[in-house]
Structure 1
Amino acid sequence: MVSSAKAITHASRLSRLITLMLLCANGQIVNAADVNAAGTNEIALSGQVRTLWMNANNNAAGPVAATNQLLPGFITENTNDATIQTELHVATHGITAIGTVQGHAFDHGGTNVSAWLNELYTGWGNGAWQFSAGKKIVSWDVAYGFRPNDMIQQEKRQAFITSTLIGRPMVMAEYFDAESSLALAFVNPGHAANTDASTEQAFVARAYHHAGSLDLYGFGRYGQETGGSLGSAAAWVLSDSMEVHASYRYSQKMALLTLMPPASLLARTSPWYAPLKNDIQQAVIGMTYTTENQQSFIIEAWWDGAAPSNSQWQQWRQRNTALGQLANAVPTLKTPAAFNVAWQANLFSAANNLRQKNIFARWSWQSGAWQVAIDTLYTPEDKGRANSASVEWQGDRWHLEAGMRLYGGPSNAVFAQLPQNRILYTSATWAF
């Protein structure tokens, strides 16, 4: 999602895209699936309208709740919010584009409207080699809950609903034959040097080879600031019902959110910064099993060296306690203490995972147009858990979904400190 400052620019681009589609409405419009995107003169137009309503139960524990206890209303906590999205897809003359316009309504009457481009790229090529340039969605790796080798898209997994990702600017070359493929990409060209791996300029490569029931992958990345990174992955189909997979990545450097020790307990500005740390390892192993009556099971375990460590979370808890004690002992320091407690919540968004060790399990059952699913994410280091359940119905054009997620665990578990401990949602999508 783009910021409000950038929304006007993206809205202008999207309006030009919509104008192009309307000007071409007297021509031949066909379904996107029937179009050869590499050079057709026809226009493929499709899209979807999605509504999403969410209800959150605000947690009485954690830094957000503690901040509002010190200064009531300092951090806005919305209980209900509603979203409506219109997403348009167009393909013509070798150009593919996806644009989104979104309206969002919060509690207390707050609203905003934003727009962005998910994709806008052109592709060409003949035979085994294909080329593309522009803003493009490219997701890699083999696991479900965590993908360490997703070196371009770097998608955060386990979202409430499936939505179209926002691509990255790139120039890409791909080679395909019957058993192998190779992809070479220059990502975020021209971007200023920074330590954010999602926006830094980088060269990225992926090699793939199919050998019987085994799929093998190799990955490489060289970032302008983060340096080199190498990864590998494998997926092995043991039978018609069972598959196992594994993935590993070593990174020379990664930017990890870290607490900068202030001269005193109270800092004047946020004490959190993101220096580059060396020698980061990430790994995941898992399996899938599907029965004849369409029940599916996924079990995965992973280690994320980019997540905050045990010692970081211990330091974080100690600082929470010290700030609360200071605010109670010296009432005149309540306001600066509240600012510092609020900054403690920054660590919740430090990485894709809150803890380094994770265990994930999911069960789902497909029956005709209906699917139900239950999953849990467990963090053995502090016994935290995130439990989810959902039900979906898929029609010809309509997709309906409802579900809930519960966060919990012992009082010192990170999941038990999040701003919300229960979230309910419903979603309806109409495709056209």
Structure 2
Amino acid sequence: MQRLALLVLLASGSCVSQAQQWQFDWDWAVSGYQTERRDSDFITPETDKYAHIDSLLDLQIRSGQWNGLFALYSQNLYQNHPQAWWTESDHQWIVRELAWQGSLEIGEQNIDLTLGKIRLDYGVSYAYRPLDMFKPYRQNPIGLSVEEGSLVATASSFDMDGEWTLLYTNSHWTDSDVDAFDRANQQHGAGIRRYGLLGQHEYQLIGYYDDVRHASLGGSWVTVPNQAWEFHTEALWQQQSIGYQLPTHPLQPVMLAENGPAWQVLAGFTYSTESGHSFIGEYWFDERAWSKTDWQQAQRRAQPLNVQSNTQPLASSYAQGLNHYNLTQHNIMLHWSWDTNSWLQWQNNTDWEWLRDITPTLDLLISPQDGGVIATQWFNYQWIDTGNASVDLEFTARFLTGDADSAYAQINDRRTLVFMIRGKF
């Protein structure tokens, strides 16, 4: 809170004479969840079904060179157990971003500066981004999600072919609740980034050193050969990685440990049609995740432990493998979305005008080694849009299916339905 108070005082002090330039933007959302639970080899849930309601209020404040994004995130406003109403609700005030951005001139060179809490997202992919190194996005979320930035200091200089950036980041300032895995991966370090353009191609090169991964080297490449196709790839190597490690003895719990060097590599494409259909296909490999052999060993050990009440905590410790950024080493994402407005502009029949405000989306996350599948379908309907205010309705259905012995089958959520209403004013 001392850091927050200091930044707020700095912001208010620099902007007090520019109060008439302050701009406030409000976003709100309420989301209701209905989840059907199932037993896994690691955990037996207390109930077969679970329902709850969350809410989110975002406030963005801009004034001059300052930008702030704040959130009031309330979880479990309602639960399907009446005795738990409000008693287990959790309200968090979160500083998502609060930063100053300006520039200075050194000789004939102009330097862009950023100081404060802000997101640095250098990834170029859809489903997973190895180059989101400092505070990764929650992967493929449904419902409400609050993403925070890191404490950042950057200095950027542009030339005819691209940009050079010196950067320092510290991800320890976290207002939202995080688990032991996220805390262990909080880092601070410094590095250099090069971004460049080569005709219809763009590239990035990043060198970074921090107190968790030690040395890290990453890069990306994006090619857009025509209006329909786009190809992208990105990779990251880190000298040290932290993850959950299987114990050497069956009666020992799973623990966090240093696991040595690790690679993350992703390749994918985007194909778009004139009728508004967009297709994305991506494959990525994450050496930090558990392998198929690791998951099989975890299941074999946990099954007998989960039967006895005195050893159930040992069995549940294996579920910590689900906290990794990727559950499996090999992953495939297939994505489809449809911009109905692009399709309607080619139609002479007005009978389909009702589709204009609807956007369907489908994601298939596949684990090719063990046959697990997570299928997610979104339907977004723009109910109101006045220019100054808007209200959207969104329905999401997520199903965890595929092989019964897959890593995804160890997730206790079999099916989740989400209805969300959100807006701006």
TM-score (norm 2): 0.83
Does the residue aligned with 2:335 lie in a helix, a strand or coil? strand
Instruction: Give the residue type in structure 1 aligned to 2:166.
Output: L
- C-alpha deviation, 1:188, in angstroms: 1.2
Q: CA deviation at 1:90?
A: 0.7
Decide whether aligned partners of structure 1 residues 169 and 230 sit closer, same or farther in structure 2, where only a CA change above 3 A counts. same
1:62 touches 1:419 (CA, 8 Å); kept in 2?
A: no
CA-CA distance at 1:383 after TM superposition = 0.4
Q: Deviations over 1:74-128 (max 9, x none)?
A: xx77611111111111122422111111222233223221111001111221464
Which of 365, 369, 385 is 1:377 aligned to? 365
Listed one character per residue, the Cα deviations across residues 140-178 of structure 1 (whole Å, up to 9, x for unaligned) are 121111111112232232111474520011211122345
Structure 2 Cα separation of the partners of residues 195 and 115 of structure 1: 19
Alpha carbons 1:405, 1:422 under 8 Å: kept: yes
* Residues 361 and 230 of structure 1: CA distance in aligned 2, closer, same or farther (over 3 Å): same
Query: Shift of the alpha carbon at 1:259?
Result: 2.2
Question: Are 1:55 and 2:26 an aligned pair?
Answer: no
2:54 paired residue number = 83
The amino acid that maps onto 1:120 is L
Matched, 1:231 2:233: no
| Structure 1 gap ranges (5+) | 1-8, 29-41, 328-333
Equivalent of 1:387, from 364, 370, 375?
375
Q: Show the counterpart of 2:350.
A: none
Q: CA deviation at 1:311?
A: 2.5
SS of corresponding position for 1:122: strand
Letter of the structure 1 residue corresponding to residue 33 of structure 2:
M
Amino acid at match of 1:413: S
Q: Is the deviation greater in 101-110 or in 407-416? A: 101-110
Contact 1:154-1:198 at 8 Å conserved across structures? no
* Structure-1 separation of matches of 2:313 and 2:394: 38
> Take 1:276 and 1:103, find their aligned partners in 2: how far apart are those partners?
34
Q: What does residue 188 of structure 1 align with?
A: 170
Is the CA contact (8 Å cut-off) linking 2:42 and 2:303 kept in structure 1? no
Contact 2:232 2:267 in 1 (8 A): yes
The CA RMSD measured in Å over matched residues stands at 2.9
Task: Return the letter of the residue paired with 2:321.
Answer: L
Aligned equivalent of 1:347, options 310, 318, 321: 321
Q: Per-residue deviation at 1:182?
A: 2.0
2:302 pairs with one of 314, 320, 327: 320
| Equivalent position of 2:293 in the other structure | 311
Contact kept, 8 Å, 1:256 with 1:274, in 2: the verdict is yes
2:335 corresponds to which residue? 362
Q: Deviations over 1:394-421 (max 9, x none)?
A: 3342222111110011211111121101
For 1:275 and 1:154, how far apart are their aligned partners in 2? 20
Does the 8 Å contact 1:389/1:403 carry over to 2? Answer: yes
Q: Which residue of 1 aligns with 2:352?
A: none
Q: What residue number does 1:254 align with?
A: 241
Q: Secondary structure at the match of 1:274?
A: strand
Structure 2: distance between partners of 1:176 and 1:198: 32
Unaligned runs of 5+ in 2: 174-180, 342-356
Q: 1:216 to 1:61 in 2, by over 3 A?
A: same
SS at match of 2:241: strand
Query: CA contact under 8 A between 1:195 and 1:225: conserved in structure 2?
Result: no
Which 4+ residue blocks in structure 1 deviate beyond 6 angstroms?
none
Which letter does structure 2 place at the counterpart of 1:99?
A: F
Aligned residues: 384
Structure 1 283/182 Cα, relative in aligned 2: closer, same or farther at 3 Å? same
Aligned with residue 125 of structure 1, among 83, 103, 118: 103
Q: Does 107-116 or 358-367 show the bigger shift?
A: 107-116
Instruction: Give the Cα separation in 2 of the matches to 1:230 and 1:357.
Output: 21
**Which residue pairs with 1:337 in the alignment?**
311
Question: Can you list the C-alpha shifts for 1:198-247, whole angstroms capped at 9, x where unaligned?
Answer: 42111133211111110111112111232111111101001111011111
Flag the 1:62–1:423 CA change in 2: closer, same or farther, 3 A.
farther
Counterpart in 2 of 1:112? 90
